[in-house]
Structure 1
Amino acid sequence: MFTTLVFHEIRSKNEISLGQRPISVADGYKDSLPMPLYNSLDYFCELLNYLKGAGYHFLSLDEIKGFYYEDQKLPEKSVLITFDDCYQSQKKYAYPVLKEMGIKAVSFEPTGWIFEEEQPYKENFSQVLSFKELEEMADIFTYANHTHHFHQREGIEKSRIMWESEASFIRDLESCNQYVEEKDVFAYPFGLYNQNNVQTLLNSHFKLAFTTEPGINTSSTPPLELHRNIVIEGLPIDKFREMLGEQK
């Protein structure tokens, strides 16, 4: 079994104190990142130090594919670190820490959001990175499919993959796959999806897909509906340990 953690924005506490801010993305989509998706750099480091100190193994996507499709075993304490959306803070704050600690992670890339040219860092926006910057972090991050232009939503219950036709969804998946390394791994935008979307991924030969439903992944978890846990800022370490599936 294993736990998957998902992060979005890692910021200094001073930046987080500025409150919710709009996103800034290449295709012009307008939205704002909810505050529960922000973690302070200090807390992020605290979590990683706990995982390292407790002897956790940091998984790769190949190991998870092996677990589900080749009956390979995973280390008893296993965790997958993921990031969504490729915000500037991933480069400014998260990447140096992960590199220093020797921890690899997966970044789900909405490729239509990514800028062609590098942009100045913006404290007041959730600004997305450029393709060149993502390439520069490829020693730590493995990039996987998070749609091309379909990372959009209506309210909190419906994302674009749910209202578009299957053919349109497939074309968007194929567009994203022109840019990402992992072409059979997906994360549902905003964690919103339906069973038609799952079937489309299956028909398109995807092997893994990640939700934002919390929980532990076991051999019985559907590999196209894997659990991911959002870590809320300041969650006590004992609660974090429960999230990891540790015994009390």
Structure 2
Amino acid sequence: MFQTLVFHEIRPKNELDLGQRPIKVADNYADSLPLALYDELSHFEQRIRQLVENGSHFLTLDDVKAFYLNGTTLPEKSILLTFDDCYQSLKKFAYPLLKQYDIPATAFVATGWLFDNPSPYDPAVSRVLAKSELADMSDVFAYANHTSHFHQRKGTTESRPMWETTDAFIADLKEANAIVPITDVFAYPFGLYDQNTVATLNDQGFYLAFTTKTGTNDHSTPRLELNRTIVGQFTPL
């Protein structure tokens, strides 16, 4: 059994006090990250320290694959740490702390959002990193598919893979897989999906896919509908 946690933006309190801000991405998709998805930096630091001090076992994607492929037993308190979208705060705040504690993590990349060149950290927007900056953090982060240009939504019920044709979704998956090193693991954009989305991933050879449904995962959890608990500033320590 294991638990998966997902973080998005990590910011110091003085930045969170300024309120919601727009995202800034290379393909010009316009949206704003809900404040509930931000985690305060001091909370994040506390969370990581507590997990380490409580004897948590930090998983890699290879560990999770082996759990399902071989039916292996995982150590108690097994946790997979994940981060979505690759905002600048990932490099500025999360990476140094995880590196300090030698903790592996997974980042799900919307590759069409990545910029060609790095930019200075901008507290006024949720700006995504450049491609080269991901390579700089590869000693901590493994990178997997979060679509290329399909990380878009209509309200809170539908993501772009759900309204596009299957062929268009497959083309987008392949575009993202040309950039990310791990090509058989996926995270649903905004956690939104339907069974057609699941079937397409299965047909395209994806082995694991993560939702944003709260809960632990065991051998009975469908590999393409794994639970993943969102951690934000209102999540109790």
> Which TM-score tier does this pair reach, normalised by the shorter chain?
over 0.9
Paired positions, count: 237
Question: Counterpart of 1:229?
Answer: 229
Alignment partner of 1:71 is 2:71: yes
Alpha-carbon offset, residue 236 of structure 1: 3.2
Normalised by the length of structure 1, the TM-score is 0.94
Kindly indicate whether the alpha-carbon contact (under 8 Å) linking 1:207 and 1:224 is maintained by their aligned counterparts in 2: yes
Q: In 2, distance between residues paired with 1:70 and 1:181? A: 23
Question: Counterpart of 2:8?
Answer: 8
Kindly indicate whether the alpha-carbon contact (under 8 Å) linking 1:43 and 1:234 is maintained by their aligned counterparts in 2: no
Question: Counterpart of 2:150?
Answer: 150
Tell me the SS of whatever aligns to 2:142: strand
Alignment partner of 1:30 is 2:10: no
Describe the shift of the 1:36–1:234 C-alpha distance in structure 2 as closer, same or farther (beyond 3 A). closer
Q: In 2, distance between residues paired with 1:92 and 1:101? A: 16
Kindly indicate whether the alpha-carbon contact (under 8 Å) linking 2:83 and 2:107 is maintained by their aligned counterparts in 1: yes
Structure 2 counterpart of 1:139, which letter?
Answer: D
Alpha-carbon offset, residue 187 of structure 1: 0.1
Superposed CA RMSD in Å reads: 0.8
Alpha-carbon offset, residue 234 of structure 1: 4.8
Kindly indicate whether the alpha-carbon contact (under 8 Å) linking 2:36 and 2:234 is maintained by their aligned counterparts in 1: no
Runs (4+) of structure 1 exceeding 6 A deviation are: none
Alignment partner of 1:17 is 2:2: no
Describe the shift of the 1:30–1:234 C-alpha distance in structure 2 as closer, same or farther (beyond 3 A). closer
Percent of aligned pairs with the same amino acid: 57
Alpha-carbon offset, residue 91 of structure 1: 0.4
Kindly indicate whether the alpha-carbon contact (under 8 Å) linking 1:59 and 1:80 is maintained by their aligned counterparts in 2: yes
**Structure 1 stretches of 5 or more lacking a match?**
238-248
Alignment partner of 1:109 is 2:109: yes
Matches within 5 A, 1:39-78: 39-78=39-78
Q: In 2, distance between residues paired with 1:180 and 1:160? A: 20
Structure 1 counterpart of 2:115, which letter?
Answer: F
Q: Deviations over 1:103-155 (max 9, x none)?
A: 11000000000000011211110000000111100100000000000000111
Q: In 2, distance between residues paired with 1:229 and 1:47? A: 14
